[in-house]
Amino acid sequence: MGQRGASPRAARSASKVLRDGRTSAASKTAAGSALSQAASKRKGK
């Protein structure tokens, strides 16, 4: 089966949306959701 979650490219785009002060609350909610689904590079907890 394939991987689940957002791609690294999608995660970068979502991060840019969250940092941009001009985006709407709905956009930030969607970006936060996508970013939370992205695979973490951290190991451990």
* pLDDT, averaged across the chain: 82
Cβ density class 5-43: b for 16+ within 10 Å, e for less: ebeeeebeebeebeeeeeeeeeeeeebeebbeebeeeee
Provide the pLDDT confidence category of residue 25 given band limits of 50, 70 and 90: very high
pLDDT at residue 5 tops 70: no
- Domain assignments of the chain as residue spans, ordered by start: 8-37
Provide the pLDDT confidence category of residue 34 given band limits of 50, 70 and 90: confident
Q: Provide the whole-model pTM.
A: 0.65
Taking residues 24-42, what's their average pLDDT?
85
